Amino acid sequence: MPWITSPKVEGIASRQAHTDLPTNTYERELGKEGFYGPASQMYHRHPPTSWLTVEGHLRPHAFDTKKLALLGSCPWDAHLLFSNANTQIRFMKLASDMDHLVRNADGDELMFVHQGMGELFCDYGHLSFSEGDYVMLPRGTMWRMDVQAPVSALMIEATHDSYRLPEKGLVGHHALFDPAILATPKINDAFIGQQNEAQWRVVVKKGNHLSTITYAFNPLDAVGWHGSLMPVRLNWRDIRPLMSHRYHLPPSAHTTFTTSRFVVCTFVPRPFETDPNALNVPFFHSNDDYDELIFYHAGQFFSRDHIYPGMMTLHPSGIPHGPHPKALQNADKKRGTMTDEVAVMIDTRDTLEISQQAETIEWAGYVDSWK
């Protein structure tokens, strides 16, 4: 069904979004369907985040994953930080090889490797991984990791769902990254070499309950396969971001993976906007359809203050959010330079619940950092 739309301009306003802002105003976008639906831009005399206090569930949150303890050698031991009916977001730390296999029967698993490197063995073969890699494992895939350097990774489950690539529309199939860059597991010497007749366990997660299946042999015993369903690996360095020197693109332009109820976006280094009349920091927005969760992987985060690699921020839907005051003050100094940040953003249609474990690593003062 079509949206009810009738574009208008009222009062003192820019004729184009994110450019030529009226003097001494701050732009705030109100949108539907994230950044995909109809939207309006408001022009305010004060930053929409200049609150004195925020009480209740809409308070912005920040968390520090470096404070999480190292747990066992099973991914299902990973700290559950955030969840809703459509996703479970964990942070995994592995210091040694896994001595068993695991399988997620609840949904596709997407891992983003924050630190470390190793070898992944799964139904489909052998795949090396290292810092900065996304590894997507289809629902039901058996897998384990051999650790070459201690691994810390964000785990994003698409509960009862599948990961897909975003529609790229006008910019074409090869924009952002060419699908040919996606690496897949190989039936190689390393994979054949790990096959044996020893006893192996497979720990299966289904409905948040764990079951153990024991075999008298290593069930990763495939000799070949063919088809169109398989794990894939993508490193953030292979992403070539969309950009415009005259317009600040919304986060949706950086979408890497999609599901029916949330999207995963990747922010990577790119040139700042150079047009002196265009915004070159994220615009304030009241995005009332999505919670926004960001994991900060590397670099200096130009729109945030006192946020460092390994931290996460959560901005619930229903409250305006946007750049910190220092980012606004330094915006014009950035023109002609490059951003220096790598971050993973998860926008969820449904409210994310914060676990008790996440509460133990929260920076309570984050809500006051816009003052």
Which residues are known to be catalytic? 248
**Is 16 strand, coil or helix?**
coil
The reply, when asked if residue 285 is annotated as ligand binding, is yes
The reply, when asked if residue 173 is annotated as ligand binding, is no
Query: What is the Cα–Cα distance from 206 to 139, expressed in whole angstroms?
Result: 11
Query: What is the Cα–Cα distance from 104 to 98, expressed in whole angstroms?
Result: 16
Query: What is the Cα–Cα distance from 160 to 154, expressed in whole angstroms?
Result: 19
Q: How far is CA 265 from the centre of its chain?
A: 5
Query: What is the Cα–Cα distance from 59 to 158, expressed in whole angstroms?
Result: 26
For 297, the token pair is: 């992987």
Query: What is the Cα–Cα distance from 217 to 305, expressed in whole angstroms?
Result: 52
Contact 293, 89 (CB under 8 A): yes
Query: What is the Cα–Cα distance from 235 to 134, expressed in whole angstroms?
Result: 6
Query: Could you report how far apart the first and last alpha carbons of the chain are, in Å?
Result: 42
In 3D, which of 157, 49, 56, 61 has the Cα closest to residue 103? 157
**Is 122 strand, coil or helix?**
strand
- ∠151-101-236 over CA atoms, to 5°? 35
3-state secondary structure labels for all residues of 29-59: EEECCCCCCCEEEEEECCCCCCCCCCCCCCC
- Binding annotation for Fe cation: 285, 291, 321
Feature table: binding site for homogentisate:
321
- The binding site comprises 285, 291, 321
